[in-house]
Amino acid sequence: MTEPLTVLAVMLRSADYLTTKGVESARLDAEYLLAHVLGLGRLEMYLQHERLLETGELDRFRPLLKRRAQREPLQYILGRQGFRELDSGVGAGVLIPRPETEGLVEVVLTWAEGREGLQVLDVGTGSGAIVLSLLSEGPFATGVGTDASAAALDFARRNREGADLQSRLALRCGRLFETLEPGERFDVIVANPPYVAESDRVGLQAEVVDWEPEEALFAGSDGLAVLREIVPGAVAALRPGGLLALEVGVGQAGPVVDLVGSTGAYDDARVHKDLAGKDRIVTATLAH
């Protein structure tokens, strides 16, 4: 007969197991998975650390632990990822929103202060986290999110419903600007495009390279292939004085600023730092 296990014992054993599988945040991930199964917050779970787990609880926990041991992202297993004020649904086929991207939203919101009735286009919207945050927090009346991935747009639609923004956000399946109507213009175009260089593939964690959609990660030999399309392509879709805001990879801000300048269409190109102090956001306004 199997000896009953306490919450604490399961956490410790699971953390050790995940460590042997190369999971960097083994203890924390084991806690999140167990809390998920028990329907508790992590702190609540610690208050019950001597509680004995029921057989059914262990039966639900073990498959989730095995998935994490196979390096499936924790966010996919839980089906959620917090992003600013939203709890975004995520899973296989959609890029997991990163904390760095919250800074991109903050830069746009700062620019938008004091304005009203703005329209925003999110190019490569993925889960919709960026555009939904802008619509929820800023002076944006309506938005459009485009993505070439039908799987990603399925998550964006569900997240749109969760945020109760169905009437204000249109989602369109297509690459970059190809779904826009002739003459359609926006006050803000924002994008967190693929910007990882193919040469950097070998340095990525298994959770990223083996699970997240590579079309949302990689952009040619130097990581700038998609940005080279977005910067000139946005000219026809921005209103004069409108803002282009881009998340870029580490070391790419300078080349992207040069790319913006080469179009001759933008003013006031700026580089903004992320929370770690790295140059990760480039903005510019369309010349009048």
Residue 196 in domain:
yes
The reply to whether 35 and 138 lie within a common domain is no
178 domain residue, yes or no: yes
164 is a domain residue:
yes
Whole-number Å distance between alpha carbons of 148 and 175: 5
Q: What is the CATH number of the domain that holds 88?
A: 3.40.50.150
d(CA 230, CA 51) in angstroms, rounded, equals: 54
pLDDT tens digit string along 36-60? 999 998 888 888 889 999 999 999 9
Do 53 and 89 lie in a common domain?
no
Q: How far is CA 103 from CA 85, 99, 106, in A?
A: 13, 7, 5
| Residue 107 identity | V
Q: Are residues 150 and 252 in the same domain?
A: yes
Residue 159 in any domain: the answer is yes
Query: In this structure, is the dihedral angle defined by the CA atoms of residues 97, 83, 155 and 58, taken in order, positive or negative?
Result: positive
Q: Are residues 90 and 111 in the same domain?
A: yes
Separation of first and last alpha carbons in the chain: 77
Over the stretch 124-172, which tens digit does the pLDDT of each residue have?
999 999 999 999 999 999 999 999 999 999 999 999 999 999 999 999 9
Domain shared by 141 and 259, yes or no: yes
Domain that holds residue 278: 83-286
Q: What does the block give as tokens for 276?
A: 């770690």
76 inside domain: no
Give the helix ranges, DSSP H, for the chain: 7-20, 26-38, 42-46, 55-69, 74-78, 99-112, 129-137, 150-162, 206-209, 225-233, 253-263
Q: Report the number of distinct structural domains present in the chain.
A: 2
pTM over 0.85: yes
Inside any domain, residue 1: no
